[in-house]
Amino acid sequence: MVERTPVFDAICQAILFLGLLIALVPFAIVIIAATHDIRTVNTVPMPLVPGHDLYANLAEAWQRADLGRKLFNSVLFATAVACGKVILSAMAAFSIVYFRFPGRSALFWAIFVTLMLPLEVRIVPTYAVAANALAPFQAILNVTGITWLVQTVSGIEVKLEWGLLNSYPGLILPLVATATGTFLYRQFYLTIPDELAEAAKMDGSGPVRFFVDMLLPLSRPNMIALFTIMFVWAWNQYLWPLLVTTDPNFGIAVTELRSLIPSEFGLPDWNVAMAGTLIIMVPPLIVVILMQRWFVRGLISTEK
């Protein structure tokens, strides 16, 4: 700044350094513990010099938590959620900002309200819906009498059923159904000059062409930011995957952390637990470090 304040600067540096330590020490402990053998990891205090068993511990954790399969599922799941959000939100926001039709603002609020109630809060009924994703439509048909009508006319009983438990759509779809991305895109579209749309219309472009050729390329930075945030967010989901995937073939890495908690009997093998933690926490960390610039900007403009 403009003046010299050596004492205050030194205090700041000391506190910042302390903050840095607080942020880094847990990472360091996890890494160091993952390199020890089971006896060393349980000595008090734990030696802070890394041991030589990192590879063996990683292999053991990999095998115990079935991480090959689980990491594959995690990548698939997080990518799908992020892509779904990026695409569907862009479309929904386009409709809300660039079209005039009756009930448009009601639609905006209908989408916007979903920001208020996160999945965790309405977990029980959402689980019931996932057991049969078409149940809402079935109920509507029953109430409006269409089921009865079809049955009396054609003799066929209308029974809509689409179970989502233990399936990829069941993992992914409920997490796409929130408004975070729609809101981000809406804010961005509002900053795009009107002249752009006017010029496009003058040149005879319809809404679809305008969306694909102008809006999407312009919103590339927002898309990258949203993708990063949603990837990390989806990767770190825990409660929903825990409930929906009882079949190990569809489990994801983060819920596998449960199987890594050392048993209470015998010497706890924290070295393996920490090795597994290390494997599971590294992918989103890498994404954040690589995309930090985008990530920070996106997080700020969404104002979730």
Partner 1 sequence: MEKRATFSSTTIGLLFVAPMLVLIFVFFYWPSGQALYWAFTLEQPWGGGNQWVGFQNFQQLLADPVYWNSVIRSLVFALSSTVIAMGLALVLALFTDRELRFHRAYRSVLVWPYAIAAPALGLAFRFILAPEAGLLSVINHLSPGLWNPALDGTDAMIAIVIAFSWKYIGYNFIFFLSALASIPRSLTEAAAMDGAGPARRILDIQLPLLTPTLFFLLVINITESFQDSFGIVDIMTQGGPARATELMVYKIYFDGFKGLDYSGAAAQSIILMLLVIMLTVVQFRFIERRVHYK
Q: Does 6 bind partner 1 (CB under 8 A)?
A: no
When binding is defined by CB under 8 A, the residue of 171, 287, 294, 302 that contacts partner 1 is: 287
When binding is defined by CB under 8 A, the residue of 58, 176, 226, 275 that contacts partner 1 is: 176
Q: Indicate the residue type of 68.
A: G
When binding is defined by CB under 8 A, the residue of 77, 183, 188, 210 that contacts partner 1 is: 210
109 vs 152 by CB, closer to partner 1 = 109
Which whole-number Å values give the CA distances from 92 to 24, 87, 159, 211, 298, in the listed order?
40, 9, 30, 11, 18
When binding is defined by CB under 8 A, the residue of 166, 211, 214, 218 that contacts partner 1 is: 211
Min separation Cβ 18 and partner 1, Å: 9
Q: Does 47 bind partner 1 (CB under 8 A)?
A: no
Site residues for partner 1, window 140-169 (CB under 8 A)?
Answer: none
Q: Does 20 bind partner 1 (CB under 8 A)?
A: yes
Token pair 């009498």 in the structure block, residue: 145
Q: How far apart are CA 181 and CA 287, in angstroms?
A: 19
95 vs 155 by CB, closer to partner 1 = 95
Q: Does 49 bind partner 1 (CB under 8 A)?
A: no
Token pair 């209908």 in the structure block, residue: 110
Site residues for partner 1, window 85-104 (CB under 8 A)?
Answer: 88-89, 91-92, 94-102, 104
Q: Number of residues in contact with partner 1, rule: CB under 8 A?
A: 115
96 vs 152 by CB, closer to partner 1 = 96
Min separation Cβ 206 and partner 1, Å: 7
When binding is defined by CB under 8 A, the residue of 59, 110, 146, 149 that contacts partner 1 is: 110
When binding is defined by CB under 8 A, the residue of 142, 239, 248, 249 that contacts partner 1 is: 239
Q: Does 30 bind partner 1 (CB under 8 A)?
A: yes
Q: In the structure encoding, which two tokens stand for residue 291, read together?
A: 């995309």
CA angle 215, 216, 218 (to 5 degrees): 65
Q: Does 178 bind partner 1 (CB under 8 A)?
A: yes
Q: Which residues contact 257 (CB under 8 A, 6 or more apart)?
A: 65, 276, 277, 280
Say if CB 62 and CB 68 are below 8 A apart.
Answer: yes
56 vs 242 by CB, closer to partner 1 = 242
Question: Of 87, 125, 124, 107, which is closest to residue 223 (Cα–Cα)?
Answer: 87
129 vs 150 by CB, closer to partner 1 = 129
Q: Does 224 bind partner 1 (CB under 8 A)?
A: no
Which whole-number Å values give the CA distances from 76 to 82, 108, 146, 191, 216, in the listed order?
10, 30, 38, 33, 24
Q: In the structure encoding, which two tokens stand for residue 45, read together?
A: 């205090």
When binding is defined by CB under 8 A, the residue of 194, 217, 265, 266 that contacts partner 1 is: 194
Q: How far apart are CA 71 and CA 256, in angstroms?
A: 10
Q: x/- string (CB under 8 A) for partner 1, residues 251-270?
A: ---xx-xx-xx------x-x
* Secondary structure of residue 270 in the 3-state scheme: helix
Token pair 């840095």 in the structure block, residue: 20
User: Burial, 171: exposed, middle or buried (Cβ in 10 Å; 0-12, 13-18, 19+)?
Assistant: buried
Q: Does 289 bind partner 1 (CB under 8 A)?
A: yes
